[in-house]
Structure 1
Amino acid sequence: MGPDDAVDGPGITAVIGFRGDGIAGNLGVTASPASLAALHPLQPSAALGRSDLSDWAGELANQLLGVVKHQLASHGLDTWTGTPVVLQVLAPNPKANLNDTLLCKLKPLEAVVWLELSGVDLDTLDLPTAVDQGLKSGDMIWF
């Protein structure tokens, strides 16, 4: 593990785009290196370098978008995805200023997941409005 592989430093963001008939968007995961290490399935996390955490951020974005694709398909919306792009960021805190952007801050971790859609009205998708509605594992809360 070289100096460029240190797990401290700037946050890591992975963004993956998708599109389909009449719909497009992106899903992103932004997290501190420590938060990504805590979420990583490989233990001990002390053995993880920055490149491992960057790969993991891309994989998380890819897996989460898989859940989104499944939910969109249940509403008749087929989508195709790209490959995650991973970036180094100074602060893991994206600003949500678009109407069709949904955010989920993962506390106590320093992590944010966002979903941005265009071409679809979120109000027509019959989305869950609260976590306490008895959602089970695998249900989408639409970050």
Structure 2
Amino acid sequence: MTLRSTLRRSAAGAYAVIGVVAALAPARVPGVFGGTAGTPEARTEVRAVYAGIPLALAGSLAAASGSAPGDDAVLRTVGAASAGMAAARLAGCVAERRLAPWPTGAYLVLEAALAVALGVATRAGTARGPLQGPTASL
């Protein structure tokens, strides 16, 4: 298994776990942060956002086998989404003047690590030796 494949599969697994937990136990998601999802509508919203989006990201990464032309775009897009989540979480911590190690700090580290891992995976798949890139035939 290549580095690219290992990083892609690890990121897919992380997002799948997040999505499955949110789908099966939606009240746990806000509970981790001290909130509640006390109504059916609130739990449905948690499932839609905290299960639906991570499961879509996991599915996209799982489908990006590494050989299709759009696979780099999938890795970049999911990596950018991960970086965006980390940046927004950090901005929230700055605005609130608080960064608790758990849960906020842990999720910040996870999101940043996923962004970095997917960036490395993208570069690992696009790194070509001399005369193997698109200009090799020139």
Q: TM-score, normalised by structure 2?
A: 0.31
In terms of fraction of residues, the more strand-rich structure is 1
In terms of fraction of residues, the more helix-rich structure is 2
Q: Which has the larger radius of gyration?
A: 2
